Chain A
Amino acid sequence: MRLVGAVFVLWAAATLTFFGLRLIPGDPAQAILGGPGSQASAEALAQVRAEYGLDQPIGVQYVAQLGRLATGDLGTSYSLKSPVADIIGSQIGGTLLLAALALLVAWVIALGLAVWSTRGGRVAAAVGSTLEIVAAAVPHFWLATVLVLIFSTALRWFPAVSTAGPEGLVLPVLTLALPLAGFLGQVMRESVLNALEAPFTLSARARGESETGVRWRHVLRHGALPGVALSGWAFGWLISGAVVVETVFARPGLGRTLLNAVQLRDVPLVVGVVLVVALGYVLMTLATDAATRLVDPRARFS
């Protein structure tokens, strides 16, 4: 059942992407040949259209594309002129690393903030909740620019554009992690507060457990549940954030590949990237389901 659902999600993603790209104005052939400072001739355009099958009716193009996808062939990129699978293979590592680190850092910040602000009284609660709201509301492109201005231009602690070493990851990861930590922190604090007033907390306290023990063993387990559930959604959100972050920090990755491909109307590449992201989303949802069962014994029996 889950497999059928997953296949449906992938088919829908490919179909919506294909027609979405072809419905917006813009001729892929013009984009393949075009760019600032160049103007394509009629002959060159006709040649490109024939070469890429763009002169066929759109229904024919769709069926051909779907047929190739069904056999596992992602096709060849219009713009980069190499197999889509190779391009994705070479770009996916950087994006996954970025997303995974951002998710980890966001979790650490959100948990820390949730625990601290529910313990420190009214002022801490107000500060915590304000920080979360501000962080969640900040757009990536703005945050990225501000971080570059502070940590690259002024303080010179971290490079403005990506480098091979780990220091180049700090600002991109923070840009993605801070708003996400805001979201996660908001839902977690809410459920931590609920858990603190729940009967099982009272009974744990009555058994004589320390405040720290109560918080880490009982309350946090409860408080983390919505965070775990949100992590599946966060994956998709991080990939869309990667489009901005990889562009601003000039990092190679799937997000930047996707942006370039959309601008060039590179249908095979866009569909390929979207399929991979959709697959990742499906897998991530399955993983969060499993994680929820692990954290919440009640889910194992439902």
Chain B
Amino acid sequence: MPLRRHSGPPRPAILRSLAALGAAALLLAGCAAGPAATTATPASGGTLTYATGFGEPTCLDPHVGGNMPQALVGTNFVESLFSQDADGTIVPWLATSGTPSADGLSWDIALRDDVTFTDGTPFDAAAVKANVEHMQDPATASSTAILALGKVTEVQVVDPTTARFVLSEPDSALLESLAQTWLAMESPTALQRTQEENCESPVGTGPFVVSSWTKQDNITLVRNDDYNSPPAGSAHEGPAYLDEIVWRFIPDSATRFAALQSGQVDVIDEMQPDNVVAAESSDQLDVLTGALPGASIRLELNAGYAPFDDEKVRKAFIASADVNPGIESLFFGTVDRSYSVLSSGTPFGASYPDDFAIDPDRANQLLDEAGWTGRDADGYRTKDGQRLTVDFPISTNQSIPAEQSLFEQIQATTKEVGFDVELHPLDLSSWYAALGAWDFGVTSAIYTKNSPDVLRILYHSSNIIPAPSGYHPNNAHVSIPELDADLTEAGQTTDADQREALYADAQKILSDGAYVLPLYDHLQKIGYGPRVQGLSLLPTLQIPTFYDAWVQQ
């Protein structure tokens, strides 16, 4: 799959910048005596303050562990081999193209020859090899990158600008995996330092450099003046405009929004639905939203254990869980109902709305047929003296308050047909423990991955039980040979039509079996103040990029 730079239609980032330019020009024309500070063209200089609610990384090297806080800040100082455009198409970044062998068992990745890490180390095929080895080294304790490189057995240095990825089986998602920030390229010289040092100040090729990290307070990033490697689709070339980015950690969403409103910070993430509405109706603030790729926000019904090991009970739950009124009222119109397991930001998503119709009569009939015919004093259904109880562990780190209220509404509507849904709000560690022990009937877990291959991770039977860790992405306990076959084949073929057909079939199997109740897209919600121009989201993981951003002085 050879790739050209600047292929395809104009990128949204460019469009947005043009729109911003136009707006600024209009503003200037409209008030000739206006403040001289308003500039129509991007101005270099200034400091931008970003406040994140995702939490503080424990290590700035995104190879180590690998979560959203690391990807958000890491995008400023490390870069990936590839990027993706708004349609999910792979576009060049540090690599210029990727070409698979005929049998799909190796990929030749052609690299740019003019890029240097900020410590002076040249970026070349040996650096790519060193990075892959670092990610796959157990001592690195990678979780995300090592999983994404599961089929990569080794990287060979063919010549300085060609790295050959040798695979154990074909991997149609390889380039998408390599586009993630968690698999970004770091200086091999810097990687040889202790992990503690590398966590404090990883060295990449990005438009900014980590200058200092004051734990629990801020990370300060300064401009890389020698920068020359923006991803395809960027609005300009050369170094970034901003002198400095101050990256602050503000866990409380109300404080974060107050800080944005009062101008104390310029950009915030993790906006609550009411704040999005307030910002959109304000003439001072703006909001950028994007659907995070991967799985939608959804309920997964644990089909491995009672009561949801019975398909009729699963179908009764889905036929009685009335989601739409809650989404309309609790989210103030900021999200749309989804009927797809895949996020709208992921290719090959298929929707089957009819499978999720609300029908209490049918739910009651299904529960009768399944033998849950008794009723106890509280109105819950029983079978052999056992109440129809569904435990629902909720991660308070991942579920926002509006979402937790939505779960309460689902609890209320399913109660009408006799389900006893018990909500258990838990911190992240306890929630992981409950999932690991299969101690739940239904749960909601976020999984962000920029490829439909996320379906294989979430619903292939091999991902039910790697016992020692208790880690099992297949929370629905789905084990269907035809589904496994579809997902394996789709993960290997690079034929787009064949992938689409296989993924459609896989999603139909999931929908027919009532394993998953899709709710809505997981949205990145970024709010920004009046000083900020040229801000956009990198489509790969919907992460804000500050390369094209500037502030009005």
Contacts and interface: CB of A to CB of B under 8 A. Distances in A.
Q: Do A and B bind each other?
A: yes
Interface of A: 24-28, 30-48, 51, 79-82, 87, 90-91, 144-145, 148-149, 152-153, 156, 159-161, 163, 247-250, 252-253, 256-257, 260, 262-265
B141 A33 contact: yes
Interface in B21-57: 51, 54-56
Contact of B216 (A81, A257, A262): A257
A265 B429 contact: yes
Given A26-B432, A27-B429, A44-B146, A250 B466 contact: no
Contact of A36 (B54, B216, B254, B259): B54
Contacts of A79: 58
Interface of B: 51, 54-56, 58-59, 65-69, 71, 138-139, 141-144, 146-147, 182, 195-196, 199, 214-217, 248-252, 254-255, 258-259, 261-262, 264-265, 397-398, 426-430, 432-434, 436, 446-448, 466-471, 473
B401 to A, nearest CB: 13
Contact of A44 (B143, B252, B264, B428): B143
A149 B258 CA distance: 7
Contacts of A249: 255
A95 to B, nearest CB: 11
A245 to B, nearest CB: 10
A161 B430 contact: no
Contacts of A163: 264
A248 B217 CA distance: 13
Given A34-B67, A161-B255, A161-B264, A82 B196 contact: yes
Residue among B195, B199, B254 with most chain A CB within 10 A: B254
10 contacts: A27-B433, A31-B429, A33-B141, A34-B428, A35-B68, A37-B448, A38-B144, A41-B471, A42-B467, A44-B142
Given A36-B55, A40-B469, A46-B468, 18 more contacts: A27-B429, A27-B432, A30-B436, A34-B429, A38-B66, A38-B67, A39-B143, A40-B471, A41-B143, A41-B146, A47-B139, A81-B195, A90-B215, A161-B248, A161-B250, A252-B214, A252-B215, A257-B216
Given A36-B397, A156-B262, A161-B264, A45 B471 contact: yes
B448 to A, nearest CB: 5
Contacts of A40: 65, 143, 469, 471
B262 A36 contact: no
B68 A148 contact: no
Nearest to B429: A26
Contacts of B51: 161, 250
Nearest to B217: A252
A24 B431 CA distance: 11
B255 A148 contact: yes
A253 B56 CA distance: 14
Contacts of A91: 216
A37 B446 contact: yes
Contacts of B69: 35-36
B216 A45 contact: no
A257 B195 CA distance: 22
A255 to B, nearest CB: 10
A250 B264 CA distance: 13
Contacts of B67: 34-38
